[in-house]
Amino acid sequence: MTYRSEVVGSLLRPTYLVEARKQFESGQLSAAPFKAMED
């Protein structure tokens, strides 16, 4: 039996990451804490 899969798109990001990105882009959050949240 052969299985087939396709990449449909990216996963939805959690709310805390969306908010952290907004804070990072507005300068309220520095790069190091933002990167730690992403990892």
pLDDT of residue 27: 97
As a whole number, mean pLDDT of residues 32-37 equals 95
As a whole number, mean pLDDT of residues 30-36 equals 95
Per-residue pLDDT of 3-32, as tens digits, reads 988 888 888 899 999 999 999 999 999 999
Alpha-carbon gap, residue 31 to 24, rounded angstroms = 7
The residues, any chain, with a CB within 8 Å of residue 30's CB and separated by 6 or more, are 24
pLDDT of residue 10: 83
E-state strands within the chain: none
| Structural domain spans, the chain | 13-39
